Structure 1
Amino acid sequence: MGYGVRLQVWGEYACFTRPEMKAERVSYDVITPSAARGVLEAIHWKPALRWVVDRIHVLNEIRFDTIRRNELESKISAGAIKSAMKGTKLMGQQVITEERQQRATMMLRKPSYLIEAHFELTSVAGETDTAEKHYNMFIRRARQGQCFHRPYLGCREFDAHFAYVEDDEVLPDSFYCDATDMDLGWMLWDMEYSREMEPLFYRPVMHQGIIEVPDLLREGVKPL
């Protein structure tokens, strides 16, 4: 196991979309491990390391809001963009007024989480890619609020705030610290890119506000 880090993440809204909902967006109850990994990678990531989420603390009460948003019915294909770049074919215009659709979104309101994670060096790590080096780089960037791109909570319009939690700092209490165990049902864990982006799912159980996240890649679990 590599060096461990603790990061508090919060925002005004979040939407971790359930893949089974096709027409309109419905969020999971809590942040997914892949979304948590995305927040960490927004602060510091290199091909030489792989972030592994160990546990997630759900700090605020799980509350939902429903809004309607304008979305596009379709998007320009990648093939049309490549043809236009090569000059072999002109790319047709996309008329926004004809493509616009109003869709409902069930999203989380004022979510807040504490992410405990560690990273492991990958096979492409070089001689200068030491665990201590990348650990110190992440700590420095997280303390100063630096990031490669603004982290977000599920959707890019829901930007995330973050703060590094020091090792000797007392962890904030969860709203569910005295609650009974809560089965959150099947949830997307992450995508397995080595198997043509197959989805991996797991069934989290929140115990007093804390979700233990397994490392399915290390455990060799096959996708559902």
Structure 2
Amino acid sequence: MRNQIEFIVHGKYGLFTDPVTKIGGEKFTYQIPTYQALKGIVESIYWKPTLIWYIDEIRVMNAIQTEMKGVRPTKYHDASNELAYYTYLRNPSYQVRAYFEFNENREDLAYDRNEHKHHNIAKRSVKRGGRRDIFLGSRDCQGYVEACEFGSGTSDYDRYGEISFGPMFHGFNYPDETGRNELEARIWVPTMKDGFIKFKRPEECPIIRPVKKQEQKQFILGENLKSVEEEYLEMFPEEVER
């Protein structure tokens, strides 16, 4: 792809919560990151409402290991807290390949569809480690991004064979991206082969369920949307002198 980026993201812990475990208050992580979590990482590297990022493929670099930790989350009904046990991934590391397409549902942002410009900013943002803080699922799991060549190096799952992880959450369909005034959830069944996981595009997911009615978010230049030039100079202040 002409507009793809490649990077490795890693951290001490990761928590890609299985939504079924949220009900009891003690979260348990999926064995692999969800499409939506990876998309959030890419959007923390660089994002504009003009773009839609797609996760093409990941490579699991470190062995999948979990660790249970005692935490004290705040209760929903008051300000007190109670002991709960969360199960995290330990030392997660993933090579990621992603690409963007322009959001055809945002005709109001058609003036900003400059592929060359956005691609160059995205590649430079990867080299800088991202524009915003990176999290591996949960906000208490700090992540770090570095540029890499996808497929390089060795993985703990080289020549490991094929593994199926069963049905799991893929991501959300947001009104801004679908053009429909409804929030939807997607389910799929991922398979890893020798450490590589190829992600389905959102429209290819076999199960899509409505969540709630939701209006498209409005982006207004000068209010809640900055120009590309303003974004660029915030990220690379040394360019001001040029």
Q: TM-score range by the shorter chain?
A: 0.7 to 0.9
User: 2:173 matched to 1:192?
Assistant: yes
Q: Is the 8 A contact 1:72 1:101 kept in 2?
A: yes
Q: Which residue of 2 aligns with 1:151?
A: 134
Residue 196 of structure 1: how far off its partner (Å): 3.2
**Residues 8 and 51 from structure 1, CA distance in 2 versus in 1: closer, same or farther, beyond 3 angstroms?**
same
Residue 208 of structure 1: how far off its partner (Å): 0.3
In structure 2, stretches of 5+ residues that fail to align are 176-180, 210-242
**Residues 187 and 178 from structure 1, CA distance in 2 versus in 1: closer, same or farther, beyond 3 angstroms?**
same
Instruction: State how far apart, in whole Å, the 1-side matches of 2:93 and 2:205 are.
Output: 30
Instruction: State how far apart, in whole Å, the 2-side matches of 1:170 and 1:122 are.
Output: 29
Identity %: 27
Q: Which runs of 4+ in 1 moved over 4 A?
A: none
Q: Is the 8 A contact 2:95 2:151 kept in 1?
A: no
- Report the secondary structure of 1:72's partner residue: coil
**Residues 144 and 9 from structure 1, CA distance in 2 versus in 1: closer, same or farther, beyond 3 angstroms?**
same
Q: Is the 8 A contact 1:2 1:131 kept in 2?
A: no
Instruction: State how far apart, in whole Å, the 2-side matches of 1:105 and 1:201 are.
Output: 23
The residue type paired with residue 117 of structure 2 is: K
TM-score, structure 1 normalization: 0.83
Question: Deviation per CA, 1:5-24, whole angstroms, max 9, x where unpaired?
Answer: 11100000000000111211
User: 2:161 matched to 1:180?
Assistant: yes
Give matches, 1:73-112, under 5 Å: 73-74=75-76, 96=79, 99-112=80-93
2:31 maps to which of 25, 29, 32: 29
Residue 170 of structure 1: how far off its partner (Å): 6.2
User: 2:193 matched to 1:207?
Assistant: yes
Q: Which residue of 2 aligns with 1:113?
A: 94
Q: Is the 8 A contact 2:44 2:130 kept in 1?
A: no
User: 2:49 matched to 1:66?
Assistant: no
- Report the secondary structure of 1:26's partner residue: coil
Instruction: State how far apart, in whole Å, the 2-side matches of 1:179 and 1:9 are.
Output: 22
Q: Which has the higher contact order (CA 8 A, sep 6+)?
A: 1
The residue type paired with residue 186 of structure 2 is: L
Residue 164 of structure 1: how far off its partner (Å): 1.3
Give matches, 1:116-131, under 5 Å: 116-123=97-104, 124=106, 125-131=109-115
Residue 2 of structure 1: how far off its partner (Å): 5.7
**Over aligned residues, Cα RMSD in angstroms?**
1.8
- Report the secondary structure of 1:101's partner residue: coil
Q: Which residue of 2 aligns with 1:160?
A: 143
Residue 206 of structure 1: how far off its partner (Å): 0.3
**Residues 48 and 57 from structure 1, CA distance in 2 versus in 1: closer, same or farther, beyond 3 angstroms?**
same
Residue 220 of structure 1: how far off its partner (Å): 6.9
Q: How many residues align?
A: 199
